């Protein structure tokens, strides 16, 4: 069983006297910056000229600088930009200001794992990755709780990199829930696989295929939406709360029996073999190379795919139904 670390295992005082630069102020950026600030850490935010996030960060009581100014001033630099933006920003505005003793950190291992960013050997390189969206990281912290985090060390120039990563995790509330040690390779590869094979790619394809099957068989699209998309959240919430066993204890006997007899007909040995090929593409860098090339070309195929799925009947039907849900309108 893996070891989880909690508040008592991390020393927040290791961050005393250090200035942390949060590069980016999106979902994770705002949560990290504000949680650090509330933990008594000196924080600045680095943004590009004209960023729409600058006004929000200032309104939140944070000092906003250019990325280069923030990187120069800070002892600790946390890059919280989209994966595809990190290499260029790092090369132009962060790398020139890295000095011995500084800490460079990430919330995802992609750029380090696939060699897009290659830091100098005299800085610590660590990862602190909350396993939840930024608004949850912030909300849980404000409620004296936390979101579990992964942490990892890629370079330990100072001899204290592991302890420093754990201190940062404590400062954003992670050790309240528990933090798990990993490495950049493991985190990047498992994260990409989970997104592609299960959470996003697998689930999206399964939802569309189920919806299409019912509609093509003559059933009302609205019923197909409820059965193949809407109720996914209900099942996932049960799984998150208590695993597969608790989920099956909460559903009907009919649904449980259908789970056992029909699940393996949908997810077959061929499906698992394809999952292994997906994992291989991630491990050998094929996916990373293809993603980088797509981004460098201006994301033409992603644009086409977005448009195709936006026009899919499950989206059209769902938009109409969701407009009738009072709890969504209130949100």
Give me the active site residues, please. 108
Other C-beta atoms lying within 10 Å of the C-beta of residue 116 = 17
Tokens of 246: 């608790």
Torsion of CA 155, 158, 159, 161, to 10 degrees: -60
Contact 157, 120 (CB under 8 A): no
CA contacts within 13 A on the Cβ side of 276: 6
Q: Could you give the CA distance from residue 216 to residue 218 in angstroms, rounded to a whole number?
A: 5
3-state secondary structure 167-202: HHHHHCCHHHHCEEECCHHHHHHHHHHHHHHHHCHH
Q: Could you give the CA distance from residue 72 to residue 19 in angstroms, rounded to a whole number?
A: 10
3-state SS assignment for residue 234: helix
Q: Could you give the CA distance from residue 233 to residue 212 in angstroms, rounded to a whole number?
A: 19
Sign of CA dihedral 251, 257, 263, 266: negative
- In angstroms and rounded to an integer, the radius of gyration of the C-alpha atoms of the chain is 22
Q: Could you give the CA distance from residue 84 to residue 267 in angstroms, rounded to a whole number?
A: 32
Q: Could you give the CA distance from residue 242 to residue 252 in angstroms, rounded to a whole number?
A: 16
DSSP state of 226: I
Q: Could you give the CA distance from residue 46 to residue 107 in angstroms, rounded to a whole number?
A: 16
Contact 153, 21 (CB under 8 A): no
């Amino acid at each position: 069983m893996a070891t989880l670390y909690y508040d008592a295992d991390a020393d927040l005082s290791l961050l005393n006297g250090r200035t942390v630069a949060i590069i980016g102020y999106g979902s994770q950026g705002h949560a990290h910056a504000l949680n650090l600030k509330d933990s008594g850490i000196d924080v600045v935010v680095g943004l590009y000229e004209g960023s729409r996030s600058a006004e929000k960060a200032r309104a939140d009581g944070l000092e906003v600088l250019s990325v280069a100014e923030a990187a120069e001033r800070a002892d600790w630099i946390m890059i919280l930009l989209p994966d595809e933006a990190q290499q260029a920003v790092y090369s132009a505005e962060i790398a020139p200001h890295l000095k011995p003793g500084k800490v460079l950190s990430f919330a995802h291992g992609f750029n380090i794992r696939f060699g897009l960013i290659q830091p100098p050997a005299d800085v610590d390189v660590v990862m602190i990755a909350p396993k939840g969206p930024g608004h949850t990281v912030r909300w849980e912290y404000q409620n004296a709780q936390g979101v579990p985090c992964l942490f990892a060390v890629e370079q330990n120039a100072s001899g204290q990199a592991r302890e420093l990563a754990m201190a940062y995790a404590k400062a954003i509330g992670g050790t309240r829930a528990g933090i798990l040690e990993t490495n950049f390779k493991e985190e990047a590869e498992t994260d990409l696989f989970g997104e592609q094979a299960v959470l996003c790619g697998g689930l999206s394809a399964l939802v569309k295929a189920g919806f299409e099957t019912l509609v093509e068989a003559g059933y009302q699209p609205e019923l197909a939406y409820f059965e193949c998309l809407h109720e996914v959240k209900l099942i996932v919430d049960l799984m998150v709360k208590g695993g597969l066993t608790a989920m099956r204890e909460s559903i009907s006997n009919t649904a449980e029996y259908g789970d056992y007899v029909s699940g393996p007909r949908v997810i077959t040995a061929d499906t698992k073999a394809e999952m292994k090929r997906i994992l291989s593409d991630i491990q050998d860098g094929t996916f990373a190379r293809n993603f980088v090339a797509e981004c460098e070309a201006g994301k033409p195929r992603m644009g086409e795919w977005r448009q195709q799925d936006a026009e899919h009947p499950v989206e059209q039907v769902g938009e109409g139904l969701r407009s009738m849900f009072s709890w969504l309108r209130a949100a």
